[in-house]
Chains A and B, each alone.
Chain A
Amino acid sequence: MATRVGEWLDQRLGWRAVWSAIFLRKMPKVNWLYTLGSATLFVALNQMVTGILLTIYYVPSPDQAYDSVQYITTQVPAGWLIRGLHHWGASVMVVLTVLHMLRVIFYGAYKYPREVTWFTGIGLLVTVIGFGFTGYLLPWDQKAFWATTVGTRIAEVTPVIGESILRIMRGGSELTAITLARFFGVHVWFLPAALLVILGVHLFLVIRNGISSVPKKEQE
């Protein structure tokens, strides 16, 4: 039965070809460091699922943000788990992204023909850092407030356009409800949209070009 349904679908969708292009593609013999990208992808999926779940209760407004986060953590069944996964996943995400990048650097995997994969990887790194920066403000506790105060002041140090950057980030000169709302909007709409597009190109290129093999000593 299942095979017949699979057959029927395959004749119409051609999903088997897609499936084998993604999962059954040929690979050089590599080591465990080559799984760091997949590990990052896995944590990214975790962040998407838990992040979407958090929006059910979280309210991005100064008088409710903190209380709604406390409510998630202490009152909602498994709320501590969902928030915990998102919180720790955020740190793991940054660590894995950087480790993945180091592997690509040290194995020279950014070279021809994979330069564009590398460029999109840089875009993904910046996006991940953006996620971390905007997400850090959302619990709206003391740590969040002052970390964002400091973070936006660091951006202000930029020559010439520094003050404009700070004002655009904060939505004014002070850190207010406007800041919280825009950080939330960037965290749940702008960055996810950017991530999906860049990640789509990144993964397409990984599959299209295949992964690099472990570099060998010079061959005669």
Chain B
Amino acid sequence: MSEEAQVQRRDFLSLITWAIGALIGAGIGIPAIAYIVGPALKKETSQEWIPIGSPSKIELGTPTLFKANIERTTGWIVNQEEVSAYVFTEDGRTYIAMSNVCSHLGCRVRWIAEQQSFFCPCHNGVFDKEGNVVSGPPPRPLDRFQVKVEGEQLFLKEA
């Protein structure tokens, strides 16, 4: 066997070793990435209509707070969670349902009747009765739910 042939055999084995190592690395590495990011990619909003009460409770022209308990599964834990929304109607036929979570940093907003606006206590965000930003830091209007009325029941769905 010549000197050159020996070097070639060594290089070949080294290459094979590295290739097998890379294959095993990818074989565990790729599933590991899927495993780590998996739950982050899951859609969390509930896709069902949530009954929240009777629309007769709403005073025309005044956003009214509705609350409902829903069951939500996060990972392996089933939680009772409260969904709350301000529902607003001018004419009793078309409804707007707004989240009471401030679009700035997630504090709860409150309807202040005297000022006819929503107020967020954390950083003084102010929204009008349809949820549009009036002043303060919020970057966008209050998030909205889909609404429907069936009989004497108001339903919400997370958009």
Q: Which residues of A contact B39 (CB under 8 A)?
A: 76
Q: Which residues of B contact A67 (CB under 8 A)?
A: 76-77
Binding site for A on B (CB under 8 A): 28, 31-32, 34-36, 38-39, 75-77
Closest CB pairs A-B (n = 6): A78-B31, A67-B76, A71-B76, A77-B34, A77-B38, A78-B35
Known: A77-B38, A78-B35. A49 touches B75 (CB 8 A): no
Q: Does residue A57 face the partner (Cβ distance < 8 Å to B)?
A: yes
Tally inter-chain residue pairs, CB-CB below 8 A.
42
The B interface, classified by DSSP as helix, strand, loop or mixed, is: helix
Interface pair A57/B75, CB less than 8 Å apart: yes
Interface pair B31/A81, CB less than 8 Å apart: yes
Binding site for B on A (CB under 8 A): 46, 49-50, 53, 56-57, 64, 67-68, 70-71, 75-79, 81-82, 85
**Shortest Cβ distance from B37 into chain A, in angstroms?**
8
Q: Which residues of A contact B77 (CB under 8 A)?
A: 64, 67
Interface pair B34/A78, CB less than 8 Å apart: yes
Closest to B39 in A: A76
What CA separation (Å) do A76 and B36 show in the bound complex?
8
**Shortest Cβ distance from B42 into chain A, in angstroms?**
9
Q: Which of A49, A50, A76, A85 contacts B38 (CB 8 A)?
A: A76
